[in-house]
Amino acid sequence: MSVLTVHRRARFVSAIALALVACDKGDSKSPTLPTNPNLPARPFRLGFSAIPPKATQESALATIDAWTRRADAAIMHISVPYRALLTGTSGTTYVNTVDLPLANYYRAKGLFLVITLDVTDGLNRAAEAPELVALGRSIKEPAVQQVYRDYLVALSTIIHPDYLGLAAETNLIREQAPAAVYGALVQMANDGAAAVKRASVNAPPLYVSVQADIAWGPPPASYRGIETDFHDFPFMQAVAISSYPYFIFPDPDQVPLDYYARLSNGRKLPVMVVEGGWTSGSAGTIQSSLTKQARYLRRQERLLDSAAAIAMFQLSYTDLDVSQYPAQQQASLGVFAQLGLVDTELRPKTALATYDSIFARPFRP
């Protein structure tokens, strides 16, 4: 099972952020959906990433402007820019040029900001990052681990996110990738955490994300938890969760109510969902619908309340126009292409009204 990691496209969107600010759309007074003080408060913030349905400036501008009006948080889920970092661009230069404009736009909107780094191939957790593969390099190399650390420190000290994720879906990588690759990931993440903490006394809380669907089995396997991840990444200051349960459960109501809460295993750590969702369409053996997707969001609300979660991010606000992607990625993306709450033309799907009703609950930590 692989996860939606089309966030390389966020590099394109970072340039768009400059246009947003230039157009004065970064004004924190831009209208947002109202909350309803008569509804129960929610302890979790809600937000999305900057992934647009199409690789055009118009699409990116419209997407970001649409979802930031119905969010109080944002996530930057970005792949390590190995090619740039290994060919002479410093982490500081890259962050200032590519990542900071988008982060500044989110800050101007008053959004809580989380960053997750993806160290390996998000569409194939058995493989290393495509940029590294193309260069004939590996995270097992000390030089590659060094540029990763430098980039982490730059993200932390320049952008100052509210939380910083050092790797994504570590339990899925452990299960699918070669042992030497996972061992290198453990080494570089721990060294990276130490480097971030050395660089600033005000370093953000750190985490690696874990796949809830792997931690729970999947059925009929027994619950496995994430104790190995706590052991291998002892710096974890939050339980950051990835979950695409439609790969496992045919119906949203089958997802256990402690699906998130149980992962902490008694630890008093903040819980966040940093990526996930439920497709509105059918693909291969997966059978879903617009109604089922909306029902999942209501179930998701109960899971978040049960875990006293502090945030929930769905990476894709819109569906994806798969034809915009390289042919070799289109088949893998098919099962993730209809996760959006709106279609590729930003027309509302059934789930958007459900989401808006959850967002209408006033946020109260």
| Amino acid (one-letter) located at 268 | K
| Edge-to-edge strands, sheet with 239-243 | 206-207, 163-165, 112-118, 73-79, 45-48, 311-314, 271-276, 239-243, 209-211
Of the candidates 237, 234, 254, which has an alpha carbon nearest to the alpha carbon of residue 246?
254
Q: Residue 279 contacts by C-beta under 8 Å, 6 or more apart in sequence?
A: 246, 286, 288, 293, 335, 336, 337, 338, 339
> 244-256 burial string, b = 16+ CB within 10 Å, else e?
bbbebbeebeebe
* Per-residue model confidence (pLDDT) at position 23: 56
Give me the torsion for CA of 120, 226, 359, 248, rounded to 10°: 80
> 5-18 burial string, b = 16+ CB within 10 Å, else e?
bbbbbbbbbbebbe
Pairing of strands 311-314, 163-165: unpaired
* Per-residue model confidence (pLDDT) at position 4: 45
Of the candidates 47, 46, 45, 54, which has an alpha carbon nearest to the alpha carbon of residue 6?
54
**How large is the greatest C-alpha to C-alpha distance in the chain, in angstroms?**
58
CATH (residue range 9-359): 3.20.20.80
3 state DSSP class of 128: strand
Mean pLDDT in order along the chain per 10 residues (365 residues)? 43 58 52 89 96 86 93 96 96 94 93 97 91 96 98 98 98 97 98 97 96 88 94 98 94 96 97 97 89 98 98 96 73 82 97 98 95
pTM over 0.85: yes
Rounded CA separation 201/273 (Å):
26
Pairing of strands 163-165, 206-207: parallel
Of the candidates 74, 128, 142, 146, which has an alpha carbon nearest to the alpha carbon of residue 103?
74
